Amino acid sequence: MFERYVDVLTHMPEYSANIFRKGYFKWLWQQCQGWGKFSYFLLAFNFVLQIISLVQSFTTHPLLSIISFIGGNLSVACVLGISNKSAIQGWAGAISALCIAFTAGVAHNYANMWEQIGYLIFLDIFCILDPKWNENIQAEKIESLREWLGYLVFFLVAWGISFGIFRLTNDPRVFLDSLTLGIAITGSLMELNRKREQYYVFTLSATFTIALWAQTMLQGDGNFALIFSYSVFLMNDIYAMVSRNGWFR
Confirm if 176 and 212 have CB atoms less than 8 A apart: yes
Which residues make beta-bridge pairs with 140?
195
Q: Is the pLDDT of residue 152 over 90?
A: yes
Q: Is the pLDDT of residue 135 over 70?
A: no
Q: What is the DSSP annotation of 82-134?
A: HHTT-THHHHHHHHHHHHHHHHHHHTT-HHHHHHHHHHIIIIIHHHHH-TTTT
Phi-psi region for residue 98, left (φ > 0), alpha (ψ -120 to 50) or beta? alpha
Higher pLDDT, 63 or 9: 63
Give the model's pLDDT for residue 96. Answer: 95
Give the model's pLDDT for residue 245. Answer: 64
Q: Average the pLDDT over each of 9-23, 152-166, 191-205 and give the range with the smallest value.
A: 9-23
Helix (H, G, I), strand (E, B) or coil at 110: helix
The pTM for the full model equals: 0.82
Per-residue DSSP letter, 85:
T
Domain segments of the chain: what residues?
Answer: 3-23+34-136+143-242
> CB-based contacts of 230: which residues, under 8 Å, 6+ apart?
206, 209, 210, 213
pLDDT average, residue stretch 97-104:
94
Confirm if 181 and 115 have CB atoms less than 8 A apart: yes
Q: Is the pLDDT of residue 69 over 90?
A: yes
Give the model's pLDDT for residue 167. Answer: 92
Give the model's pLDDT for residue 68. Answer: 93
Confirm if 192 and 124 have CB atoms less than 8 A apart: no
Confidence of residue 19 (pLDDT cuts 50, 70, 90): confident
Higher pLDDT, 247 or 120: 120
pLDDT average, residue stretch 123-149:
77
